[in-house]
Amino acid sequence: MGLIVGVVGATGAVGRKMLEVLEERNIDIEKLRVFASARSAGEKINFKDQVVTVELLTEEVMKDKFDYLLFSAGGSVSAQYAPIAAEAGNTVIDNSSQWRMTEGIPLVVPEVNAHVLKGYKGIIANPNCSTIQMVVALAPLHKRYGIDKVVVSTYQAVSGSGHKAIVELENQMKDANYPNNVYPKRIATNCIPHIDVFNDNGFTKEELKMVYETQKILEDNKIKVNSTTVRIPVFFSHSESVYVEFKETPEVSEVKQILSEAPGVIVLDNPEKNEYPTPLEVANSDDTYVGRIRKDLFNPNALSMWVVADNLRKGAATNAVQILEALETLK
């Protein structure tokens, strides 16, 4: 028997990618249902050899029977509809930030903490895109050396702000006078150190997601994270400069060995041959790429690295589908 799967927000940038990844990974789907707002209800979407009609999202339809509901329609949609679906006995994998820090809700990157899914039913949160790729690279190093502190700066693609942001960058690249609607400033030929809203402490909500989600996923509230998140004029894949202070002394050769054996990680680090990951080259891959691994010049327990992953795939859709796969294996 195949699965009954629903995708909420199926017409968005992440929702479309979820459908692509479900198809690519050959998830055994008997019935697929796709949901969005009144703006696109009635539209047709191709999935495998079928044409599926977009249904209007309502509280009633969330009470129907689904094996899995993948949500990516923003926090307020998840806040309203995910509990109704879960109450009806459906498993929800939610890509929004709505439930991530709620106690008792698993926040999962399957390579890192799939064990928290055992015996669980209800809402499962998919972490923030920048957090996912960082913890995929950090988890195996934390295990070996123990992380004390992380200082990260991100270089984030516009697709993380949804389909309308992709259109805004495309248009601004062609037209110097095209207005900024999605971002507070022009994004073409610029970079904006402002993702999500500012908090009273001076950090943005995106930056704080990287702090607290990292602690939750790595199950260690003592890890100190300082984050600066920046939007850049790139369409797909987020890049991160990650500086890590460990409790024990890491050696670069061993770090490369550990990372090359870590699930979901590819080490691409031959600077002399210009081999290091870039967003353009990493886009469309499901792996997290790590390069520029080097020891700090002053602190023997610290190193820096450059971490790149496709934000719509590993940062969102692929991770969500991997959660579904992990739940299926645990059945």
Positions in the binding site for ligand A2P (CB under 6 A):
9-13, 15, 36-37, 39-40, 57, 73-74, 77, 162-164
DSSP string, 155-172: EB-GGGG-HHHHHHHHHH
95 a known binding residue? no
Please tell me whether 97 is known to bind a ligand: no
Contacts of 122 (CB under 8 A, 6+ apart): 86, 91, 92, 105
Is 104 annotated as belonging to a binding site? no
CB of 43 to ligand A2P, least distance (A): 8
Spot the catalytic one: 142, 163, 194, 238.
238
CB of 123 to ligand A2P, least distance (A): 17
Of the candidates 130, 225, 287, the residue with the CA atom closest to the CA atom of residue 277: 287
Q: What are phi and psi of 323, to 5 degrees?
A: -65, -45
Q: Min. distance of Cβ 298 from ligand A2P in angstroms?
A: 42
Q: Looking at beta carbons, which residue is closest to ligand A2P?
A: 12
Catalytic residue among 115, 129, 142, 194: 129
Residue 162 marked as a ligand binder: no
Smaller CB separation from ligand A2P, 1 or 197: 197
Give the three-class secondary structure for 314.
helix
Smallest distance, ligand A2P to C-beta of residue 161, A? 7
Closer by beta carbon to ligand A2P, 56 or else 330: 56
- Residue 309's beta-bridge partner residues? 238
Instruction: Read off the DSSP letter of residue 208.
Output: H
What is the Cα–Cα distance from 138 to 147, expressed in whole angstroms?
8
- As a whole number of angstroms, the distance between CA 148 and CA 136 comes to 17
Work out whether strand 3-8 and strand 68-71 pair parallel, antiparallel, or are unpaired. Answer: parallel
Least gap, CB of 162 to ligand A2P (angstroms): 3
Phi, psi of 188 (to 5 degrees): -60, 135
Q: Is 191 a catalytic residue?
A: no
Min. distance of Cβ 181 from ligand A2P in angstroms?
12
194 in active site: no
Alpha-carbon gap, residue 262 to 239, rounded angstroms: 19
* Chain position carrying tokens 């999605």: 182
The three-class DSSP label of residue 179 is coil
Lookup result for tokens 């993702």:
195
Instruction: Tell me whether residue 77 or residue 169 sits nearer to ligand A2P (CB atom).
Output: 77
- Cβ proximity to ligand A2P, 73 vs 141, nearer residue: 73
The single-letter code of the amino acid at 242 is V
127: three-class secondary structure by DSSP: coil
Using the minimum distance from each CB to ligand A2P, give the nearer residue, 11 or 172: 11
Tokens of 192: 């904006």
Write out the two tokens for 87.
């109450």
Nearer to ligand A2P, 40 or 285 (CB): 40
Entry field: residues in the chain: 331
CA–CA separation, 104 and 269 (whole Å): 39
Known binding-site residue numbers for substrate: 156, 231
For the annotated catalytic residues, the residue numbers are: 129, 238
Known binding-site residue numbers: 11-14, 39-40, 100, 156, 159-160, 231, 311
